Structure 1
C-alpha cells in the first residue's frame, strides 16, 4: 500500500494518531492556519507618494479630492485583503513564519497518493483544510476530509474508514464571518481615530460585548442604594419538662411579618424598636405551624463550551482562556472529546458505558430507568457531542498532567457521570413561630437521597441546607438572642468572564470558537478592565460605545448581531449564498459609514474646560479622554505650532475597585460615598491631581461638562516603594499610577521628569537628554534627526516626533561628531570602531535579550555578517566562521546502528 499523508492542526496529537494508523501513514501538523488575509499593513513607497503628490497638485480641487479618495480606497482594500466592490475577491497570503511548514508539507504531499485533512471538526478546521488544498495544489480527488470528536483508536479508525470531502458551505460560512469582521474593523477604526482618539478600534462582535459591559456599568452608576434592616431571633427548645435545665443549640429565625405585613425596617430606629419589643420578657414564642414537603433536584446537562467556562470559573477560579487552553491539551492527549461545542448530545456508545459505570459503582438506585436527555439550543452550530471524558476510569487513568489539568478533567468527568444519575431527594421544612404581632420564619432542608450529588456536590451550601428540630404546633420556644442587621439594596452584579460568556450565549451572540477571542480582545483594546475578577467599563469604552450606537445602531444591536450569527449558520447549511449576505450587509453599512464621516456625522470627543491652570503656560487645562484613560491637557494644544502648548498631567484614580467576593455590598457602599454631579446628578469619578487637589468628573463626561475640584490633603492610594532623587533637578520622586502603569514622578513644580517602574520594583535607569543633530536630515519628511534615549537604547528620531515618526539607527561616526553632548553613560560607544574590516560604516543596535547595545554594519542597505559586542571594557568582533561550525555541529544527526549514511552529492571543499 502506498503511504498516505495526514495533516492535523496541532503537533501534539500527531504521534497519537500516527500510532493508531500505523506505518502506512505520515502524520504532520500545519500548526493552525497556513494562510490568511494580509497580516501587515502595506506601506507605500515614499518616492511613489511624492510623484502622486506632484500630479495631484496640478488638478482642480474637486478632481484632486476625488483622486485622493480613490487612492485612499485602493490602499484600504489592499490592506484589508478583501474587495467588497469586486465580488468580495480575497488576497490571501502565507502567514509569516509558515513558509517552512508549507515546504515540508509540499514535499510530503508530492510523495503521497492520498492526503487526509484531519483538522478540527468546526468551521475553522474546515477552512484550514480548504486553505491547505489551495496551497498544496494537485488534483482535488487525492484529498479526503476526516473528522473525529475524540482522539481514541476506535474514533480514528472509524473516521478513516469513512472519509468525506471538504464541505464548501462551511468554508464559505467561515470566510463570510472573516470578511465581515475584517471590513467592520478596517473601516470603522480610521473613523474612530478621526472623531474620538488615535489608537482605537472596533469589531463586529467585540463592540457588542463592550456595550453589554458599558450598559451594566451605567445601571450600577444610576442605581441608588436604599437602606434596610433585617431582624433575627435565636430560639431554642427548653428541656425543663425532662428534668434538664440546658437548652438545645438555638436556631436562627427571621422576623418575616408584623401585623400580617412584610416586615422590613428602613432605618436603625425602627429596627431597634422591634428588637426591644422582642426582648420583652413577657413575650412568648409559640410554634404555629411546621410544613414538610418533598422536593427533588435534577442533574445539569453535560458541559458545552460556555457551561464548562462558567463552571471552571466558579469552582476552580480559572479564566476563560485558561480553561480552553487546558481543555485543548486534554483533547489533544485523547482524554476528552472536542471542547468547542454547543451541543449536549451524547453518543450511544458513551451513554451505555456511563450507565453501566453508574450501576456497577454506585448501585441500581443511582441509575434512572431511562437516560437523562437534555435539550440543545436550536442554534447549535454543528452536530457535535457534549464535552465528556473518553474513558471512565477517572482521574486515576491520567498520566503526565499537571495539577490544573487534573482538576479540570475531574470536573468534566464528574459533570458527565452526574448528568446520567438519579435525582437528589430532599425534605424541605418551613417552621412558623408567633411572637405577638410578629411572625418569625425559618426554612430548612435535609437530604433523603443524595443521587447525583454523590459525584458532583452542589457548588455552595445555602443557609437553608440544615436540619430543623421536630417542632410541634403549640410548642413554646425560649429566646436566646435578638439581632438587627443593616443592609443596602445592591445594584445589578458586574459581569465576570464566565457570566459575560453566559450573557452572550443567552442572546445568541458569538459561537463556541469565538468566546475566548471576544473576552481577550475587549480587554486588550482597553475598553474594559478586569478588577477582582469583575469587568469595569473604562471611560473610553463608554465613549466609543455611545458614538457607535448613535451612528451604527444596527451594528451595535443585540438582535441584529444574533441574527447575523443565524444567517452564517444558514450559509454553513447551504441555505443562503454568502456573497449575497455580505452584499446586503455592506450596502447598509457603507451608507452609514459615509454619513458618519461628515461634519454632521459622528460626534467628536470634545474636551471639557476647567479652571485648573497649566503649569507651563497658565492657560486653562481641559479634561480629555483617550485610549489610555482620562488626563488633563492644556487648552493651548490646538493653537498653531509656534504658540502650541503640549503640557499634559496624569490623573490618578481616587478609588479602589471593590472585591465583591469579600464584601457583597461593597458596590452599594461605594455608590453611596460618591459625589453627585452638580449638572446631571450622576455619580462622579474621582481623580487625584496632586497631594492638595482632587478632581471629580461626571460619569457622563464628555457628554456632561460637570466637574468639581476639591481641595485638601490627599494621599495617593497604594503608594509603595522608596522615594528616589530626581536625576534632573535633585528633588524627590514618588511612585504614582498613570495611564501607562506605575512610574516615579518628580514632585517639583517646574520639573516633569518621570522614570518607569520596572517589574523588579526598581526605577528604570534615567534617560539621557535628547541631542539635536541638525546636520542629519530625515529621508521621508522635511525635518532633522535628534538622538534619543529610549527603552530599546539610543536611536535617531525626527525632531518633530510624534508628528513625524521617522526613526533609524545611529552610525558610530555620527555619534563621535557630538561626543561633547553625549551622556557619559554612552562613553563606551565613542571607543567603538567606525567601520567594519571591509570599510562599511558601523551602526548601533539594541539586543532585547541581553538588554545591551551592539554593533552591526550594512552594505548597500543589506546587513553584513559582521557584528561586535562590548565585553570587559573593549569591543570584540564576533567570528562568523566559528558560529557556522557550531551551528553545523549542533544539527548533526545521530547515525542509526546498522544503517549506512547517505552518500554526499557534492564533494567537500578543499582547503
Structure 2
C-alpha cells in the first residue's frame, strides 16, 4: 500500500486531522517553525574565530560585513539569506527526513496564511529531494468534509506569498538589528525599535500627550422631569434657547434658565414616530473577535488568539486569522436550517445576510465561525472554561449574523418652555430579531407615554448637573486593535504580537485594562519621529502593508521593494548616527537638578531608563571610575499611589505647567517632604519644579521590610515589571512584589517536597508550590514534566506537619462535600483568597466553602 506523509504545525492539529485520514497517511507535526535566519548567538563562535581585535578595521565596509553575519541577510548581494535549523528542532527534522524517504508523497498542510505558506516552504527546503514529491494542501476548518476537499485539490507552494512573508521578515530584521545599536548608544541600553511595534507605541504615546495636556472646561446639563396627562413620567433634556444650541458654562446661566422654566408652560410642539430596522453585525474576523473578547470576556488579545488556536486545532472553529466576512454557501445553509428549527420562521430572513469585505482584505478566507453549528456548547475536557466561553461568543455572533433584523420604533418629542427647547429621543423594540441570541447593551425603552402635539406636560423637577469636558479616552487592547485596523497597520496575524511586544519591552503598560505610555516609550517615539520619519509614519506603514499584499499577488517584485526600503532607511540611519549638532538623533541626556546627593554632595540629575525615571548622582560621570558615585533615588509617580488626588476634579490650578515650554508636568514622590514635577518633554526640555511640604507617603515606603529568609534589610527597586523589594544580601536574592493597591505582597511559600505523592504522567513526585493562582502541586522534575494539579484537602490533612503556618488552616477544611465527593483547594484571583470546592467526574459540583472568622463556612450547595 502506498503511504503519504502529512506535515502540520501543531501536535493537536495532527491529532485532529489523523481522525479524518485513512491508514495510508502518516500525520506528523513540525511544532511550529523549523528554521529561521541566523542570529547573533548562533554566529558568535564563528565570528570569534574569523575576527579579532587586531584585524578589524573600523570602516563602513567591515561594519556592514559584521552586520550581515549577525542578521543572516545580505542587502548588498541580492538579499541572499542564510537560514539555520532552530535549536531543539534537529531531531524533528531528522525524523521527518527518515519518514519522507519511506513514503511516496508528502503533503504540507500548514496554516493557510502567509506564515503557514512560509513554514511549508521551509519544510520542503530542509527535507529536500524532488519537489514533485511535495504538495500543498490548505483548509479553512478541520472537519472531515473540509479535509477531504483539500486533499482532492492539492496544489503547490505559492512562492509569491512566501516572498511577501520574507519581505516582511527581512524588513523587520533590518530595522531591529540596525537601529538597536544606535538606540543603545543615544538613548539607553536595552532599547529597541520595531517596524510596526514602534507605530503602535506612537499611537499610545500621542494619546498620552493629548491627555496630559488636556485642560478640562466646565459646562452644565439641565434635565427636566415632567408628567404626561396619563400621569406617566418623562425625562427631557434642554437642548436650545431661542433656536440656538444651549451650552451653559456657569451656574449663573443655569439659574437663569431654571427660573424662566419654572414660570413656563411645557407644551409638546412636535411628536414623530419612525420605524427602522437594524441588522446584526457580521460574523467575526480576527480583529473584531479580539475586540469583543476583550470587551465582553476581559481576555487579552494574546489570550484570545491562543484560545482561538486551540479551538481551531480541535476542529471547533474555522481558521482564526482572517479579515474576510465571507461565509460559504454550505455554512449559511446549515445556519439557516438551525435558525428555522430552533427559533422559527420569523427569525429567518427571506434571503441570507451577506456582508461586504474590508477594502484591503488580505485573504479570501471565511469569517470565523463554528465548524459544526449543532455544537452550541463544548463538553470536551480537552479545552478549559475560557476556550469554551470564547467558542460561545463565536457561535452566538455567527448565528445572529444570519437572523432577521431588529425592528424598532423611534420616537422624537420636542417640547417648548418659553424660549427653551426640550427634546427626548427613544427607541421601542417591536421585534427582537437577532437580539434573541445577541443581547444589545444599550438601554431600550419598553413603553412610552401617549403624547400628541399640543399636549400640556406638568413639571415635577428641574435637575441641573455640572460637567467637565474629558480628554480622549486611553486605549484598551480592543480599541488599540481597532485603531491599528482603521489605519491599515498590521494584519490579523500580527495584532497579538504587536500588543504583547510593546508591553514586554516596557514601552507601555496596562493598568485597569487601559494602555499607559511609559516614559521610555514617549522618548523613543519623539526620537524616531525626528530621525526615522518614514519608519513611524502611519501612512508609510499602512502603504507597506498594501505593498506586501501586492507581492503576494505577484503584482510587484519583492526584492525591488526591499531595495527601495533599504536605500531610504540607510540614509536616515547614517544621518541619525551623527551628533545632534549635525542633525543626528538627540541624546537621552541627564537633566541636572538642585537636589544634592546624600552620599557625595554633588548635584543629582533626572535620568530616564527602561526601568523608569529616577535621580542619579552626576558624580557617576567622573572620569576616574574609582571615585564614581553610584547613588540613585527612586521617583514614585503620584499616579501610582495617590488615589485621592486622582479622584479630585481636575482644574487648571491643579495642573503643574513647565515655566520653560508651558507643557504639563509629570509629578513624582521623593520622600515625605519633597515632590518633583518634571516637564513631559524631558529630557528635550530641562524644566522641573521642586515642591516642599509634608506629604503622605505610599504604603510600601512607610514600612521597614526585613527578609524572612536571612533577616537582613530589604530595599526598594524598580524593574521592567514594576516595583519590588529585594534583600541586600546578594546570595539571598529574596524579593517581595508591590501590589497595585500599594501593599507589599506576602512572603512566597518555599517549595515543599511531597515524595509520597506520585505523579500520574511520569515517574516524578509532587512539590507544593505557590504562584499567582495560589498553592498547587507540580512535578519535581519541572520543566521536563509539567504535570500540575490542585491539592486535595485530605492530602494536606495527612501531611499537615509539613505545612507552614501561612496555609496551615487549609488542612482543617472539610475533606468531602455533602455528597461524599473529595474536596480540593482552589484560589480566587479577585479576592486573593483560597477556598475549598469539590469535583465529580472531573467537573465542579458547585459546592464550595470559605474560611471566615477562623472557621469553614459552606456558601454554596
C-alpha distance in structure 2 between counterparts of 1:124 and 1:197, whole Å: 33
| Residue 439 (structure 1) aligned to one of 402, 421, 436 | 421
C-alpha distance in structure 1 between counterparts of 2:46 and 2:155, whole Å: 51
Q: Is the 8 A contact 1:444 1:466 kept in 2?
A: no
Residue 695 of structure 1, CA deviation? 0.3
Change in CA separation of 1:141 and 1:740 when aligned onto 2, cut-off 3 Å? closer
Change in CA separation of 1:161 and 1:725 when aligned onto 2, cut-off 3 Å? closer
Q: Which residue of 2 aligns with 1:841?
A: none
C-alpha distance in structure 2 between counterparts of 1:672 and 1:3, whole Å: 79
Q: Which residue of 2 aligns with 1:74?
A: 65
C-alpha distance in structure 1 between counterparts of 2:406 and 2:663, whole Å: 48
Residue 234 of structure 1, CA deviation? 1.2
C-alpha distance in structure 2 between counterparts of 1:95 and 1:174, whole Å: 18
2:239 counterpart of 1:256: yes
Q: Which residue of 2 aligns with 1:842?
A: none
2:203 counterpart of 1:223: no
Change in CA separation of 1:658 and 1:524 when aligned onto 2, cut-off 3 Å? farther
Q: Is the 8 A contact 2:266 2:456 kept in 1?
A: yes
Residue 726 of structure 1, CA deviation? 8.7
Change in CA separation of 1:565 and 1:737 when aligned onto 2, cut-off 3 Å? closer
Change in CA separation of 1:524 and 1:418 when aligned onto 2, cut-off 3 Å? same
2:635 counterpart of 1:651: yes
Q: Is the 8 A contact 1:650 1:739 kept in 2?
A: no
Change in CA separation of 1:273 and 1:49 when aligned onto 2, cut-off 3 Å? farther
Equivalence map 1:578-597=2 (5 Å): 578-597=558-577
Q: What secondary structure, in the 3-state scheme, does the structure 2 residue paired with 1:324 have?
A: helix
Q: Which residue of 2 aligns with 1:629?
A: 612
| Residue 693 (structure 1) aligned to one of 660, 671, 674 | 674
Q: Which residue of 1 aligns with 2:684?
A: 703
Q: Is the 8 A contact 1:719 1:736 kept in 2?
A: no
Q: Deviations over 1:631-673 (max 9, x none)?
A: 11112222212443222111111124999xx99x979838874
Q: Is the 8 A contact 1:634 1:645 kept in 2?
A: yes
Change in CA separation of 1:530 and 1:316 when aligned onto 2, cut-off 3 Å? same
Q: Deviations over 1:172-203 (max 9, x none)?
A: 11111111100110001111011111110001
Q: Deviations over 1:558-606 (max 9, x none)?
A: 1111111111111111121111111111111111111111222111112
Equivalence map 1:201-600=2 (5 Å): 201-237=192-228, 247-248=231-232, 250-278=233-261, 280=262, 282-396=263-377, 398-400=379-381, 401-458=383-440, 460-462=441-443, 465-599=445-579, 600=582
Equivalence map 1:704-783=2 (5 Å): 704-719=685-700, 723-725=704-706, 741-744=722-725, 756-758=735-737, 761-762=745-746
Q: What secondary structure, in the 3-state scheme, does the structure 1 residue paired with 2:10 have?
A: coil
Q: Which residue of 2 aligns with 1:131?
A: 122
Q: Deviations over 1:359-385 (max 9, x none)?
A: 333233322232222111232112111
C-alpha distance in structure 2 between counterparts of 1:350 and 1:657, whole Å: 52
Structure 2 unaligned residues grouped into runs of 5+: 739-743, 750-778, 783-861
Q: What secondary structure, in the 3-state scheme, does the structure 2 residue paired with 1:655 have?
A: helix
C-alpha distance in structure 2 between counterparts of 1:89 and 1:527, whole Å: 33
Residue 116 of structure 1, CA deviation? 0.7
TM-score by length of 1: 0.77
Change in CA separation of 1:465 and 1:676 when aligned onto 2, cut-off 3 Å? farther
2:100 counterpart of 1:109: yes
Residue 454 of structure 1, CA deviation? 1.5
Q: What secondary structure, in the 3-state scheme, does the structure 2 residue paired with 1:65 have?
A: coil
C-alpha distance in structure 2 between counterparts of 1:340 and 1:79, whole Å: 32
Q: Is the 8 A contact 1:621 1:634 kept in 2?
A: yes
Q: Is the 8 A contact 1:490 1:668 kept in 2?
A: no
Q: What secondary structure, in the 3-state scheme, does the structure 2 residue paired with 1:85 have?
A: coil
Q: What secondary structure, in the 3-state scheme, does the structure 1 residue paired with 2:216 have?
A: coil
Residue 477 of structure 1, CA deviation? 2.4
Residue 71 of structure 1, CA deviation? 4.0
Change in CA separation of 1:226 and 1:396 when aligned onto 2, cut-off 3 Å? same
Q: Which residue of 2 aligns with 1:65?
A: 58
Residue 735 of structure 1, CA deviation? 6.4
C-alpha distance in structure 2 between counterparts of 1:36 and 1:670, whole Å: 54
Q: Which residue of 2 aligns with 1:798?
A: none
Equivalence map 1:24-43=2 (5 Å): 24-41=24-41
Q: Is the 8 A contact 1:173 1:571 kept in 2?
A: yes
Q: What secondary structure, in the 3-state scheme, does the structure 1 residue paired with 2:33 have?
A: coil
Q: Which residue of 1 aligns with 2:622?
A: 639
Q: Is the 8 A contact 1:490 1:667 kept in 2?
A: no
Q: Is the 8 A contact 2:43 2:70 kept in 1?
A: no
Residue 681 of structure 1, CA deviation? 2.0
C-alpha distance in structure 2 between counterparts of 1:366 and 1:595, whole Å: 64
C-alpha distance in structure 1 between counterparts of 2:716 and 2:216, whole Å: 35
Point out the more displaced range, 633-642 or 203-212: 633-642
Equivalence map 1:862-877=2 (5 Å): none
Q: Deviations over 1:14-45 (max 9, x none)?
A: 12211211111111110000111124535756
Q: Which residue of 2 aligns with 1:880?
A: none
Change in CA separation of 1:672 and 1:564 when aligned onto 2, cut-off 3 Å? farther
Q: Is the 8 A contact 2:274 2:410 kept in 1?
A: yes
Q: What secondary structure, in the 3-state scheme, does the structure 1 residue paired with 2:616 have?
A: strand
C-alpha distance in structure 2 between counterparts of 1:710 and 1:305, whole Å: 49
Q: Is the 8 A contact 1:445 1:467 kept in 2?
A: no
Change in CA separation of 1:430 and 1:52 when aligned onto 2, cut-off 3 Å? same
Point out the more displaced range, 111-120 or 402-411: 402-411
Q: What secondary structure, in the 3-state scheme, does the structure 2 residue paired with 1:266 have?
A: coil
Structure 1 unaligned residues grouped into runs of 5+: 57-63, 240-246, 748-752, 766-847, 852-911
C-alpha distance in structure 2 between counterparts of 1:377 and 1:603, whole Å: 40
C-alpha distance in structure 2 between counterparts of 1:667 and 1:499, whole Å: 26
2:159 counterpart of 1:168: yes
Q: Which residue of 1 aligns with 2:12?
A: 12
Q: What secondary structure, in the 3-state scheme, does the structure 1 residue paired with 2:650 have?
A: helix
* Structure of larger gyration radius: 1
CA RMSD across the alignment? 3.1
Q: Is the 8 A contact 1:331 1:339 kept in 2?
A: yes
Q: What secondary structure, in the 3-state scheme, does the structure 2 residue paired with 1:357 have?
A: helix
Q: Is the 8 A contact 2:171 2:562 kept in 1?
A: yes
Change in CA separation of 1:108 and 1:596 when aligned onto 2, cut-off 3 Å? same
Q: Deviations over 1:192-217 (max 9, x none)?
A: 01111111000111111111111111
